[in-house]
Amino acid sequence: MVLLATLGGVLMLASMALALEARGAATRKVLAGLERSHREAVDAASARELLRGVLAEAQRGAVPHPELSRLDGTPFELALDGRLWEARVNDVDGLVDLYLAPPEVLALLPADAGEILRRRQALLAELPPGARLSSETQSLARLGFDAAERDRLGPLVTQLARTGQVNPDLSPAAIRAAAAALPGADLAAGRTAEISLRRLPTPPPQ
């Protein structure tokens, strides 16, 4: 009887040890994922600041860079600090402003404009007048879009436009034709650049 009780205790301790080991492995996996996400976010922020410097030089004419002068969201590859990125640069007046766009402009996005409008009203009710969240990514997340949807919508939106209208001449190709068909399009160009970046696999050394 004592032997059975001892054996039962050993088995219980062994199962507890296995459970703790499994929990520890899961925790390490989560922490590794968080560390990787943080590192990627830092890399993207650094690359964006470097690109802003290149953009400023291009706008002054100091550095010829035709992709940066177009400001219509045409994607191009850019090597920064040893990493390869797909970059898009838009004049914000060619993008859909998440906070100011009326329903017909929100309808340019590949998403439910009515649902965006409803969620935006709820978000604005929580913010001081004129306030914005810190980034388009954060705003899209608060509007209920998951990571894949944020990646899809990110190159099309801003929160820095002067008005809620769009200049179709500066819009990304995905919404340009539909934007041009809207009445009362905003044909001004503010020359305020919105930069979006997507990390590309680094090619192996030759």
172 three-class SS: coil
Given pLDDT bands bounded at 50, 70 and 90, which one contains residue 8?
A: low
For residues 118 and 134, what is the distance between their CA atoms, to the nearest angstrom? 20
- What tokens appear for 91 in the block? 């004049």
For residues 132 and 162, what is the distance between their CA atoms, to the nearest angstrom? 14
- Between 52 and 160, where is the model more confident? 160
Residue 134 in contact with residue 52, Cβ under 8 Å? no
The burial class, CB within 10 Å (0-12 / 13-18 / 19+), for 116 is buried
pLDDT digits (tens, 9 = 90+) for 122-173: 999 999 999 999 999 999 999 999 999 998 999 899 998 888 999 898 888 8
Whole-number mean pLDDT of the chain?
78
- Give the pLDDT of residue 38: 45
pTM of the model: 0.64
